[in-house]
């Protein structure tokens, strides 16, 4: 059963959320984001709609964050 565009795998979820794949796995395991399993191969999958809704609730990051200070 191939994934439709309604579902994403860990890597795609990480790119959508702007975090690492390990963060997506941890958030899914802790219940911070809904996580499902593919019925054939048991891979983690996520509903694109739920991730996009989560992103809409997140505050906007600053447009220009200051870089790290360098020692002189």
More confident residue, 60 or 15: 15
pLDDT reported for residue 2: 54
pLDDT reported for residue 37: 96
Using one digit for the tens of pLDDT, what is the confidence trace for 17-64? 989 999 999 999 999 999 999 999 999 999 999 999 988 887 776 566
Report d(CA 61, CA 40) in Å as an integer.
38
> What is the pTM (predicted TM-score) of this model?
0.73
The answer to whether the CB of 17 falls within 8 A of the CB of 9 is: no
Q: CB atoms < 10 A from the CB of 67, how many? A: 6
**HEC assignment per residue over the chain:** CCCCCCEECHHHHHHHHCCCHHHHHHHHHHCCCCCEECCCCCCEEEEHHHHHHHHHHCCCCCCCCCCCCCCC
Domains in the chain, CATH or no CATH each: 7-57 (1.10.1660.10)
Which of the four pLDDT bands, split at 50, 70 and 90, describes residue 1?
A: very low
């Amino acid at each position: 059963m191939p994934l439709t565009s309604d579902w994403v795998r860990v890597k795609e979820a990480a790119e959508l959320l702007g975090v690492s794949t390990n963060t997506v796995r941890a958030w899914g395991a802790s219940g911070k984001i809904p996580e499902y399993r593919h019925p054939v191969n048991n891979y983690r999958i996520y509903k694109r709609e739920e991730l996009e809704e989560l992103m809409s609730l997140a505050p906007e990051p600053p447009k220009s964050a200051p870089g790290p200070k360098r020692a002189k």
